Amino acid sequence: MEYYETIIVGAGPAGSTCARKLAQAGRSVLMLDKATLPRLKPCAGWVTGEVWRDLEVTPGEYPHSLLKLSTRLYIAPFPFALMPWPTRWANYSIRRIEFDQWLVERSGVAVRQHQVNHIDYQNDTYIIDGQLACTYLIGAGGTGCPVRRQFFPRQRPPEDQIVALEKEFYYPDRDGIARYFLFDRGLAGYSWYVPKADGYLNLGLGGFNRYFQSSSLSIHDHFQAFLQDLMGRRLLSPEVADQLRPSGYSYYLASGQGPVKQDRCWLIGDSAGLATLDFGEGISPAIKSGLLAAGEVLGNTVYTRGAIFNRSLRPGWQWLRGLVPRYSGGSGQRREDQPEPLARPNFH
Ligand SMILES: Cc1cc2nc3c(=O)[nH]c(=O)nc-3n(C[C@H](O)[C@H](O)[C@H](O)COP(=O)(O)OP(=O)(O)OC[C@H]3O[C@@H](n4cnc5c(N)ncnc54)[C@H](O)[C@@H]3O)c2cc1C
């Protein structure tokens, strides 16, 4: 049996940030990830100045291309941009395939390709799939994290579940302005048009799962309508729109419920459900929680849900969230008189 003081399940932003801090303190640590790195992660790749601060780098020191975003915010039913982006920090776009790999490399910690299936806890030791042992265990495996499933069995509140569709592609004709469209066609969420450096573009749409369950429009209907709108605004060509096949993913907002620690085990990032309540921003909370959990292992910080901010909007702008359309989400059943949804996305 191989032993490490700490094993981190998941090498996303949460896991690799935690790993780096432990390695800097000279601790023995291993990351496990089911994917072969570098891996794709459905994500708009919008990061704030706070992310760079927490990572202790300036945007100029980031070794890959990034774009400082000029942003526009649209609130339905108004067809024009109402105001600049009312978040607390400057905004940037990164490509997750580069960003996550960079975080792994700078951590200086090895990542082993291993899908974690079963974990035992005996005599103060965690044993992973009968092969690997550790004293401290960090669950950083995203929404479907096996550490959460096994040691934090409490159900996550369904009203906090977000589902999203996203596509990133090379589109040199894109312009350099990021656009966010809130509540379009009654969507309890928003769609985005986020330009990336080097001619890439990320399009996507996310909203409350309960909204989609009770709405006459499925998430795919909304995505198609969004593409139509972009074509109408001459932001996307019909040939490219026709080819787009988005990926689906689901995650949870920071409801403030449920423990993030048990015995010598912590949940960080999406496995804990930490994305901000207003814009579903998850990268920054993942990084912060990774740092705090590492601090707990090292015995010099306290990690609680309350220590992670749960709002992206500046104070004074919280009324925006109050505009989220109401939806009857109690049963999760579609009403009989509503059309069938388009093909269901494959949410991981
Ligand atoms: C469509 C979409 C758009 C988004 N846009 C933004 C945005 O613009 N800005 C923002 O801040 N946030 C955004 N988010 C949220 C953000 O992507 C997440 O909050 C963030 O990736 C969480 O990081 P993490 O490290 O917790 O998890 P992840 O990045 O999901 O990493 C988890 C890792 O765990 C691994 N893993 C999973 N299961 C196992 C297993 N059994 N064994 C081993 N390894 C496993 C996975 O392979 C993965 O590498 C978006 C989310 C979605 C779905």
pLDDT of 323 strictly over 90: no
Report the separation in Å between the CA atom of 250 and the middle of ligand 1, taken as the mean of its atom positions: 9
Is the pTM here over 0.75, yes or no?
yes
Ligand 1 site, residue 164, Cβ cutoff 6 A = yes
Smallest CA-to-CA distance from 9 within 138, 108, 118 is with 138
Report residue 16 CA to chain centroid gap.
Answer: 15
The encoded tokens of residue 261 equal 């620690």
pLDDT digits (tens, 9 = 90+) for 106-144: 999 999 999 999 999 999 999 999 999 999 999 999 999
- Measured between alpha carbons, how far is 248 from 166 in angstroms, rounded to an integer? 7
Task: Give the number of the atom of ligand 1 that is nearest the alpha carbon of residue 165.
Answer: 1
Lowest mean pLDDT among 20-34, 83-97, 133-147, 189-203: 83-97
Q: Which amino acid is at 248?
A: G
Q: Which amino acid is at 120?
A: D
Give, using CA atoms, the residue closest to atom 15 of ligand 1.
Answer: 282
Q: What value does the mean pLDDT take over residues 273-300? A: 95
Report the separation in Å between the CA atom of 299 and the middle of ligand 1, taken as the mean of its atom positions: 27
What strands, in cross-sheet order, belong to the sheet with 91-93?
Answer: 46-48, 91-93, 67-68
- Measured between alpha carbons, how far is 136 from 7 in angstroms, rounded to an integer? 7
Smallest CA-to-CA distance from 230 within 285, 274, 179 is with 179
Ligand 1 site, residue 33, Cβ cutoff 6 A = yes
Omega before 158 cis (within 30°)? Answer: no
Percent of the chain surpassing pLDDT 90? 78
Other CB atoms closer than 10 Å to residue 238's CB: what's the count?
A: 10
pLDDT digits (tens, 9 = 90+) for 3-52: 999 999 999 999 999 999 999 999 999 999 999 999 999 999 999 999 99
Mutate to test the pocket of ligand 1, among 16, 30, 34, 253 (most ligand atoms within 8 A of CB): 34
Report the separation in Å between the CA atom of 67 and the middle of ligand 1, taken as the mean of its atom positions: 21
Task: Give the number of the atom of ligand 1 that is nearest the alpha carbon of residue 35.
Answer: 47
Query: Which residues does residue 122 pair with via DSSP β-bridges, in sequence order?
Result: 125
Q: Specify the long-range contacts of residues 20-25, CB closer than 8 Å, at least 24 apart.
A: 20/103, 20/106, 20/107, 20/108, 20/109, 21/290, 21/291, 21/294, 21/295, 21/298, 22/109, 22/294, 22/297, 22/298, 23/107, 23/108, 23/109, 25/294, 25/298
Smallest CA-to-CA distance from 139 within 124, 119, 122 is with 119
Ligand 1 site, residue 137, Cβ cutoff 6 A = no
Report the separation in Å between the CA atom of 239 and the middle of ligand 1, taken as the mean of its atom positions: 30
Task: Give the number of the atom of ligand 1 that is nearest the alpha carbon of residue 283.
Answer: 11
| Residue whose tokens read 């209907």 | 221
pLDDT at 227: 97
What strands, in cross-sheet order, belong to the sheet with 161-170?
Answer: 70-75, 177-182, 189-195, 200-208, 161-170, 247-252
Mutate to test the pocket of ligand 1, among 283, 289, 291 (most ligand atoms within 8 A of CB): 283
Ligand 1 site, residue 195, Cβ cutoff 6 A = no
Report the separation in Å between the CA atom of 10 and the middle of ligand 1, taken as the mean of its atom positions: 9
pLDDT at 83: 64
Q: What value does the mean pLDDT take over residues 221-241? A: 96
323 and 183 in contact (C-beta within 8 Å)?
yes
Report the separation in Å between the CA atom of 338 and the middle of ligand 1, taken as the mean of its atom positions: 32
96 and 45 in contact (C-beta within 8 Å)?
yes
Give, using CA atoms, the residue closest to atom 38 of ligand 1.
Answer: 141
What is the torsional sign of CA 93, 220, 318, 235? positive
- Measured between alpha carbons, how far is 343 from 194 in angstroms, rounded to an integer? 25
Query: Hey, where are the domains in the chain?
Result: 2-323
pLDDT at 17: 98
Ligand 1 site, residue 12, Cβ cutoff 6 A = yes
Query: What CATH number labels 2-323?
Result: 3.50.50.60
Ligand 1 site, residue 270, Cβ cutoff 6 A = yes
H helices of 197-347, in order, are 209-214, 219-232, 238-243, 283-298
Task: Give the number of the atom of ligand 1 that is nearest the alpha carbon of residue 146.
Answer: 41
Q: What value does the mean pLDDT take over residues 312-327? A: 70
Mutate to test the pocket of ligand 1, among 143, 192, 270, 277 (most ligand atoms within 8 A of CB): 270
